[in-house]
Amino acid sequence: MFIVVTGAAGFIGANLVRTLNERGERDVIAVDRLDGSDKFRNLVDCEIADYLDADEFLARIENGDFDGEIAAVLHQGACSDTMERDSAFMMRNNYRYSTRLLEHCQNDDVPFLYASSAAVYGGGTSFAESRANEDPLNAYAYSKFLFDQLVRRTLPERSAPIAGFRYFNVYGPREAHKGRMASVMWHFFHQFRGGGRVKLFEGTGGIANGEQRRDFVSIEDVVRVNLDFLDHPQRSGIFNLGSGRAETYNAVAAAVVNAVRAAEGSPAESVESLVREGAITYIPFPAALAGRYQNYTQADLTRLRAAGYTAPTLTLDEGVRRYVEWLMAHERA
């Protein structure tokens, strides 16, 4: 029996494949769209049974080629570019593809775990998994929102487990290929290593410089939750997956800079000291993000905890420290 990971060469997918390998799983089918990208490097140290292009995989499962041979599908594949303006592409790639895959999994009694997104909440300040809190601001968020609605309609009559995870701001190893869509941790690390300073957005709408707050969650926690649900197929539903804490960009920048400083044998410094020294600087808020930017997110983990996942998430300082150490050991990443 195979475990299928879609988006397998991507950030979250590759970390899932690697951790499945560490658990002894080798019968993993990696599904993705490489399209000239060098993200295949994320899979070089992984063991897989086969690689299939996303469209080929969908055609083959709909043809019955894998009937009775798939133990579970971990569906991470999607275009996650919040600046993508081609809404038709977003709907084909994120919504329609996911719909067809879900239909197959239900017809063949295959557990289906998938990536949703905290982007469905838009500019709101309430982050419980309720329709009343959802107000997507861009095509990416809408594609995730619409699929979640389909899942909600399917859950009462499901024939196999379905678990969707609304990822908040995920950071960690194997995200370099995302470029401008990589986490702020990745960008801050390379800015500081390359020029001795990190660049944060100035405040807007009464928010002070660098005081926008987001829920940042380590890829380690994201993988742990996915695999815990894989191990407990009695769980179904849509769940927030974050740290449960809202951290300022100033705090993130300081965590990255101080992690680098610690690795180089220097003491930690406060945000204020780092600003005075020029290690933290502020740039104008991009006009292109006006009305499309979440100034605040904080995952409500009540439903996740009630489902039975009780492990604590990594703190910001610990998660960033681990990530910075990995980045320094993989400078080419």
Write the pLDDT tens digit of every residue in 62-100.
Answer: 999 999 999 999 999 986 666 666 678 778 878 999 999
φ, ψ for residue 332, nearest 5 deg: -80, -10
Angstrom distance (rounded) from CA 94 to CA 97: 6
pLDDT of residue 114: 98
Question: pTM here?
Answer: 0.94
Q: Indicate the SS3 state at residue 293.
A: coil
> How open is the CA angle 282-218-176, to the nearest 5 degrees?
65
Neighbours of 177 (CB within 10 A): 18
pLDDT of residue 209: 95
Give the length of the chain. Answer: 333
| Regions of the chain short of the pLDDT cut 70 | 79-86, 291-292, 332-333
pLDDT of residue 93: 76
Closest to 165 measured CA to CA, from 97, 205, 217: 217
Catalytic residues: 140, 178
